[in-house]
Structure 1
């Protein structure tokens, strides 16, 4: 299979002038310290529609013949691809229909509608939405826009690689979140053409890592399960076009765990002041988990920032637990005046900040005259968390359960 070349990616870049943002490349001290080198963040979370997807979608739609444009386009997505196709179609005057799962986050559904798409909620998951989109394409003649497996999509995403090399000519490693492989395949095609010595590293969530077994088998291999918080890269099977690019151009595939993903998201929020979705932080999570694999100067691509606010709250808590800064305890106390005050006074002496507290006398596990106190604490790190637990035990408090 012929790979997308530099000329095609440059042509895509010309088409995207005035359409897609040339996103900033931000130096990051905190992630540099993590790998002992120089790290920059390529902020595609600041792209129009909140992710890199607009690039490939616009290039794909721009290439359509007049009669195909007249028939409209159809896509299926739970979020970022939906918004990219919707905006690209609107800019080009093309009618778009987007199928989304019935439980797709409301902010993503509303955003897709706001970009001009006819949104249709169908099925419990993305697979059912994809089937409905393909059936719609057959029935109406609309062009089905695949989220990653097309040369025009890869060319559009490859413009991210062009910008990285232009913004940081001395770059030696580029880490890229990888799902279907359109983004990392396109970046690799551009970067390797300009700087063959640059290492391009794909990063996947451990719970949705289709690339390692596929590369080992020499062909796309489907996964049976893709349960990860990084739903934007939870792709069960690579495509044929992307497989050729990743297998031929990408130097290494790393995987990262759920705890590291949440810790990376929290660091981006707190230290870099950037809102990034779980899939979007995969590259920096890979850097945190595998610093020995990264040669600096390095660039980590933040591929998207579309995150549901309720999920963000959960992930902040999860990230704080992962970094040792959050502790949930259940303490059994005698049901008498002053018992709770004594517990809170000891926590104050230990400099643990109370975030939430719940006092319960109703439980089958409680004896008469006992109460359970569920208490959530902010701590300064793993050592402080362990100290709090140890000191409460030494002071005679009965710890029934702890989390974090």
Structure 2
């Protein structure tokens, strides 16, 4: 069936136009414009309040920063003194370039193949609704779980989490949740397997400040700020007497890229990436500036010695020319990784449940950054996992979509996982 003028196609179940009610709820959530730079968080809070009432679950709201509220929906276990299970998701989504989308990015159009197009389908409103629907089904079946389940919905993940999870993990309200294990977002997998993330690269955002000799734009001026940033591989005839900073960066990136492309053992999360993202400087076309700034986005695996890496940056600055300095806009130093050893009770419960569903797991270090890093930073195990296989990776991309059948299968996956994790024996951790 083709979508009608409201973008609602066919399907099965009791939802809109005959589609599964879980899919209808998912599309309703996608239509909430929780998009930066001005996300409608109030709409999300009202939406979650309504769901908590439907499920008969208490919901607690904690304003961690002005206008930034974390909501926690709780399904109490039969032994509430035990360590709990956290199902975490974020409510915000990144902006869109609507001219590049085939449909309105917030209409949640479903096409004839069951693909639902909207910002947030993969990142990560699908997971939010899958958590909710898994709990709904388990409660409807009369399931009793030993450990308490917390469904957490946080703001501002897409802008770094500073006014969301990063602040919340430091508050007593977070400690009171008594979390033992957490699930958070992952990535789609284009193949048959499902990707699982046990760690993340550290994001370093660095600005290098290069002073130089100013002068008139019509003259040959030596040792300018721009000269210190130049990529000499582009124009070897202009090579200066010093090593330019950008040359060091490009050479480093070439070595890493070669390493990644020639080894079957490495994924993007295993290597360091450095990308120049901003250049600032100058006041007029005919004035050589006295200073130029260049900014870089670095992503560093938890296996890298961070102190030694910063020493390398210092050396690059020293070799590039006199007076070059740098400072950080963001510098994360957490290198905690979650165990994926079969002897670990949490991982064993997760992996054996997936294997029982004939799911192949591919374990990786997450190449970007999620709220999981803040959870791991306080010493808690966290796994990044979005049950989306046979799906192109489209987070933050144009025409982000998720197929409804993949979405529905994910609910079944979480049903099984929630039961397995919530029933990990207490004696495993000496809790009784």
Give the shorter-chain TM-score range.
under 0.3
* Higher RCO (Cα < 8 Å, 6 or more apart): 2
More helix per residue: 1
TM-score (norm 1): 0.27
